[in-house]
Structure 1
Amino acid sequence: MIDTLLRKIDAMKNPTVVGLDPTLEMMPAHLKAEMFEKCGKNPEAVGKMFLKFNKDIIDSIEDIVPAVKPQIAMYEKYGLEGMKAYLETIEYANQKGMIVIGDIKRGDISSTAAAYAAHIEGTEIEGESFDLWKEDWVTINPYLGIDGIQPFIDACNKKDRGVFVLVKTSNPSSSQLQDIVVNNKTIYETVAELVKEWGTQSMGTMGYSRIGAVVGATHKEQGEKLRAMMPHTFFLVPGYGAQGGTGADLKGFFDKDGRGCIVNSSRGIIAAYKKNDKYGEKVGEAARDAAISMKADLQY
């Protein structure tokens, strides 16, 4: 899957991923009114409007953006109806040929980690296999060590899928833990060394591992340092746009060939219609224009 992702980025000349992180407040008024009238003011209505909203976004960007990244918490908030929207969004993106990164940030050990790894490995019942989640990549938390990571590595190798491990996250308070210095190294540098080591178990054919790293766009110097430390680790880069990261900030996150990253924007694209009156409630049109602008900004 790392080779597939690299080839898709190369073909589109666009190292971006759109975060499908809808909120009720983000929904266009006409869509809210339609679903509330149809279903009542309940989780079913929200799930249906999220799915319709996401399909509009996907239809508008599928030919210019290689991947989408739904954040599972935005859907879990609405229980079964939200999770139905999550799964149907992924299925729709799959049908359109887009790569799907499930932003699930799981982290546990032993049989629990193995159960979470079903997000990419699938589930077996009495000899029958089911790919219930249909995600190509997922995000995971490394802070329980290799016990929480190995089941995902095994799943990646078995199914040719991938994971992005949290290394240096984009939120401001990440420094409270990730920048603590122990034995002359920050915690995030220690995690980076582990991710680099873990990645040797799962290399693709184009120079990068299926075990990637989450590195925030809001940390320019750290990102450049991590690229030097992790030459074969592919980065998922959140924090672009709404959180302040720019294309200029990210030059050092890429390798010498302009590869090595996929950069996420969520609100900056899916809520772009709210930022300019010219779009009205044309969610897809605004998202496409924002995605095109982002692509141009990343062409350093």
Structure 2
Amino acid sequence: MPCHSRRTLLPLLLAGLPAPALHAQARPVVVASFSILGDLVRQVAGDAVALRVLAGPETDAHVFQPRPSEAEAIRGAALVVRNGLGFEPWLDRLLRSTGFAGPVTTATDGIQPLRAAPMPGHSHGADAPDPHAWQDVRLAQSYARRIAAGLAGAAPQAGAAVRAGAEACLDRLGALDAWVRGQFASVPEGRRVLVTSHDAFGYFAAAYGVRVLAPQGMGGQAQPSAQQVAALIRRIREDRITAVFLEGPGSQAVMERLARDAGVVPRGRLYADTLSLPDGPAPGYEAMVRHNVGLMVPAMLG
């Protein structure tokens, strides 16, 4: 690309024409609320946008506290992508406080939410919708379509790249869904039971014929009662459940104690609400699903 001096650039800027060097660098800023959603945006948009993820890897998006830098990112965004269904109430407050008037894509629009039985102290409220729809890979395809539609309106100059990215993403997710189903086909129905710390796998359970037992509610912040833990320990012993997992740093002490009292060994850590760091086992959405299922199936077979 030829160099352009300030004297050459000035007439172009004054004329309202894009300066070649500046135009090449200009990419619309897209803000995603948390790491899993950010990876889906990245898969669809590729390098066509400048992506900013607010609650990054290994961050609990339920209780994320935005900093001033997150507010600045919102103010400069061409598009904000959120999960919805009450998953990130802090983002709604952030949008109001910044006066953001740009487009907002809600990835769960059009999805019929599940509703979990209320548990004392869980963060989403009584009879609230379960926001963890991405755990069903087919619904992650719906996320990708919503993201592509939002990008088409907010970044029309990236239309061709977004369409190609969306098609490739949908193909990969379709193959991933088929792989998950094939993996669980090897597990007898009565063994498709797992125990993890909080109730984030409802859509996964409904999609793939798995029963999930958890001592905590959908938000995962409230400590379970002694009665809840004791009931779960009895269930693990009576049903000889071997698929017991940690999930998230904040839950490890509870689950380690529960597993010890039930006489079982935790079979690793699942990722539900966040991705791992880039050098971890779940740096992207597809890697997360494959990691989780790769732990679940051998543990269920016992």
Whether the TM-score (by the shorter chain) exceeds 0.5 is no
TM-score (norm 2): 0.29
Rg larger for? 2
Q: Which has the higher strand share?
A: 1
